Structure 1
Amino acid sequence: MASVQNGRSEGDPVDVIQKPTREELRRRAADLVPVLRANAQSSERDRRLSDETVQAMTDAGIFRLRTPERFGGYACDTGTLVDVGIELGRGDGSAAFNTAAWWIMSWNIGMFPDEVQEEVFTTPDVRICGTLAPTAMAVPKDGGVVVSGQWNFNSGAAHSQWKLLSAILPDGEGGAEPILALAPISAFEVIDDWDVAGLRATGSVTLRVQDLFIPTVKYLKISALMQQQYASVRNRELPIYRGPMVGAVSASTTGKIVGLARAAREAFFERLPGRAITNTAYASQIEAPVTHLQVADASLKIDEMEFHARRLADLVDGKGLRDEPWSLQDRAYARMAVGRICQLGLDAVNTFAMASGASSIYSSIPIQRIQRDMQTITLHALNLPSTNLELYGRILCGLEPNTFFV
């Protein structure tokens, strides 16, 4: 007889749901934009998302997009993530950033053994924070490992129930390799050190732990994950898991960046009517040729951003549906696409910010926050344009990659 957990048989769905269409999910996200914008300034001041923002996104089903359907989730393709991410990015960069991180971690949980998924996805809206940098040590112990260390940049920790962590595990032969492990958020000490210039509302605090036991079933070797050797049986043939981690992670994050650039454009045009250019003869900025050049240049860069976001999503989703292998160039493109999107986005946002005048530096004016958020996103280790473009160029030149994350 199947075991019963939370009133359901193991493996059965939490609820019988009607999966919303891609357009319905995009519309739900678009409807959230006024709420996200209304809370953005106070969330930035508090250095974490407001409870109202998180609850509104929960009610809209935003956190279900990468939860398997058997747990009441939507198991959406990455094209849907792009659509929804764009709308969230229009609303608030920090809310969109945390959501993309939660999507990525939910997808990662789908690679763990099915029994672990049963424990984590007791609600389809569960939120898992996490980091890939192996900044801790794991020591083998009967039935698992003992982990000690700390991890920076845990976006959304305040509203998460679980954490994915990376650590270095000795192999017993003088070597070592990184692992990806799972533990409840309550097991960690929170170091409230998130006092930064951009993405302030992500609440990306440091988490620390000492001598935390993690059973074998709750950790995976990252080398196996990079080779698509996932532990889940039930997810193995699902299209969204037929591909490498680099594709799923990269495609999950692009929409929010495009949306943030769109937000800069919207913020600029909202203040444009009636604005003069100080110390010039232009009584209306909208009549100045320089404005026309700035608007055209920045808008075309946003179009180019969206091209790469959708091209990458089509690559991930198409190969998943057709069960096609990924070439090394495909994998490198996944990294390059994010870097290029960030490069174009930062240029576009900086153009709109510089064209907004000195009055735009007030904290009540969104463009200055958008600019800081975009710069911070671009500095992320997996997003940095110079690193990602170099990787893509290496592969095009026939050289081996110089990173494990590809």
Structure 2
Amino acid sequence: MTLINRNTTRPPRSMPVGEIREALRQLEDTVAEQRADFDAAGQLPDELFDSLADLGLFRLFLPTALGGHELSALDFMDVVEDAAALDGTIGWLVGNGGGMGRVGGFLSETSAREIFDDPKAFIVAGTGGLGKVVATDGGVRVNGRWAFGSGSPHGTWFSPVCEVYEDGVASGRKVLVYAPRKDVFLHDNWQVSGLCATGSVDFEFRDVFVPDRFVHDFQPKPSHPGKLYRLPTLSIFPWTVATVPLGLARGARNEFLRIASQRKRRGDSLALAERELVQSELGRIDARLAAARVYLRQVMTDLLEGVEAGADLSPLRVRFRMGCTFASESALWSLDRITEIAGAVSILQRFPLERYERDARAAAKHLAMSSVAYINGGKLALGQELPLSGY
């Protein structure tokens, strides 16, 4: 496949979701050829990143008026799941980068265009920490360090969570700020066992000036119509990554199907595909993944309907976070079963199963998929008081 010239200056065109998904499938051979080099570099090759950018995969939620795809939440899920089935790093970066396209629905048009007129625009989110913001003439001064800056090596803008300080005292007000790459210091500390090529290093702001037009509340007032931009920030963040483990489980399942008709366990005369135990396990895996996927889509649908109706979102948000966690747990359970029936081939680095498993375990460590969600779900069912935040 022909990769994209990094000097391209034209923003990607908006495409129907089916066309985006087909274009992702066309990258399969390229990814397979380059995957072995991902981990050593700790980031995607520039040419592959540019191919993803050229498809507009980092502007999935960006309004079409600003050159984005403006996908629905459910179409977004389909695309991210496809990307993760292709490769965990790609799924993670498409989820994070494509999800951050939503900021075009919060900033002024002028500010949003300053970011997204760059066809390679990728906004790195900073939720793994809390920075310090102090007001100054025309803007704010920002200091802080944030962990897990996914996509930092290719990041063009960085958007961390901060707290506003007044007279040296934390005010409790949280904001999001935006600064270009030139103002940000990256720490080379992403040495991990899974999602190795996401480049999720720490990044730091050292007394960075941010103009007022690049600052807004953590729960912003939308500048663009649409239910998506009115979703709670603590719900839209999890949505951008919660489907990644499901995609990884699907990718592992498909890889197992590819090898099952040829491979035999040592001492067994039947290929894996001919064994009833394997057939039974695959049936269970398909049922569990399908159930988790339907549940996740339903709780997001319910949440969107609640936003539209102006309903009390607390119970909907609790159930939504349970859906995120259940999807992750179901993916890990499925991967456990797949690697068990596959045998020793699942630990060999030259086969994709090994990578799918460790990427999924890394993704599932994200706070968005914490088992704390079940505690809140239980409290909700029992009619007990819910915590004030965290979901």
Normalising by structure 2, we get a TM-score of 0.89
2:323 corresponds to 1:337? yes
For structure 1, the residue ranges without an aligned partner over 5 or more in a row are 1-13
Provide the residue aligned with 1:191 in structure 2: 187
Q: Match for 1:353: what amino acid?
A: T
Q: CA deviation at 1:368?
A: 0.7
Q: CA deviation at 1:387?
A: 1.7
Distance 1:318 1:36, change over 3 A: farther
Aligned-pair Cα RMSD in Å: 2.4
2:347 corresponds to 1:361? yes
Provide the residue aligned with 2:161 in structure 1: 166
Distance 1:114 1:39 in 2: 37
**Offset from partner CA, 1:326-355 (integer Å, 9 cap, x none):** 521111122111111000001101111122
Distance 1:61 1:180, change over 3 A: closer
Provide the residue aligned with 2:284 in structure 1: 297
Distance 1:243 1:40, change over 3 A: same
Distance 2:242 2:278 in 1: 28
Distance 1:299 1:154, change over 3 A: same
Distance 1:316 1:62, change over 3 A: farther
Asked whether the 8 Å contact 1:243–1:319 carries over to 2, the reply is no
Asked whether the 8 Å contact 1:105–1:164 carries over to 2, the reply is no
Asked whether the 8 Å contact 1:105–1:128 carries over to 2, the reply is yes
Q: CA deviation at 1:324?
A: 4.3
- Specify which of 78, 81, 89 is matched with residue 83 of structure 1: 78
Distance 2:318 2:278 in 1: 37
Distance 1:22 1:82, change over 3 A: same
Identical counterparts, % of pairs: 22
Distance 2:15 2:306 in 1: 23
Asked whether the 8 Å contact 1:239–1:323 carries over to 2, the reply is no
Distance 2:258 2:301 in 1: 33
2:48 corresponds to 1:53? yes
Distance 1:355 1:206, change over 3 A: same
Q: CA deviation at 1:135?
A: 3.2
Distance 1:176 1:400, change over 3 A: farther
Q: CA deviation at 1:261?
A: 0.9
Secondary structure at 1:112's aligned position in 2? coil
Distance 1:219 1:346, change over 3 A: same
Q: Match for 2:382: what amino acid?
A: C
Provide the residue aligned with 1:309 in structure 2: 296
Provide the residue aligned with 1:111 in structure 2: 106
Q: Match for 2:46: what amino acid?
A: D
Q: Match for 1:184: what amino acid?
A: P
2:224 corresponds to 1:239? no
Asked whether the 8 Å contact 1:340–1:389 carries over to 2, the reply is no
**Offset from partner CA, 1:56-113 (integer Å, 9 cap, x none):** 2123232232111111212111121112112111110111101111122221352234
Distance 2:388 2:278 in 1: 42
Distance 1:113 1:394, change over 3 A: farther
2:387 corresponds to 1:387? no
Counting matched residue pairs gives 381
Asked whether the 8 Å contact 2:244–2:363 carries over to 1, the reply is no
Secondary structure at 2:369's aligned position in 1? coil
Distance 1:192 1:273 in 2: 43
- Specify which of 217, 223, 244 is matched with residue 256 of structure 1: 244
Distance 2:28 2:306 in 1: 32
2:208 corresponds to 1:212? yes
Distance 1:360 1:67 in 2: 38
Secondary structure at 2:379's aligned position in 1? helix
Q: What pairs up with 1:257-296 in 2 under 5 angstroms? A: 257-278=245-266, 280-296=267-283
**Offset from partner CA, 1:203-254 (integer Å, 9 cap, x none):** 10111232112223322232xx0xxx41x43x1x223213322343333334
Asked whether the 8 Å contact 2:23–2:55 carries over to 1, the reply is yes
Distance 1:334 1:108 in 2: 22
Asked whether the 8 Å contact 1:84–1:255 carries over to 2, the reply is no
Bigger shift: residues 154-163 or 206-215:
206-215
Distance 2:280 2:12 in 1: 53
Bigger shift: residues 157-166 or 238-247:
238-247
**Offset from partner CA, 1:149-176 (integer Å, 9 cap, x none):** 2111111111110000122322449543
- Specify which of 341, 363, 386 is matched with residue 377 of structure 1: 363
Q: CA deviation at 1:125?
A: 4.8
For structure 2, the residue ranges without an aligned partner over 5 or more in a row are 1-9
Distance 1:390 1:202, change over 3 A: same
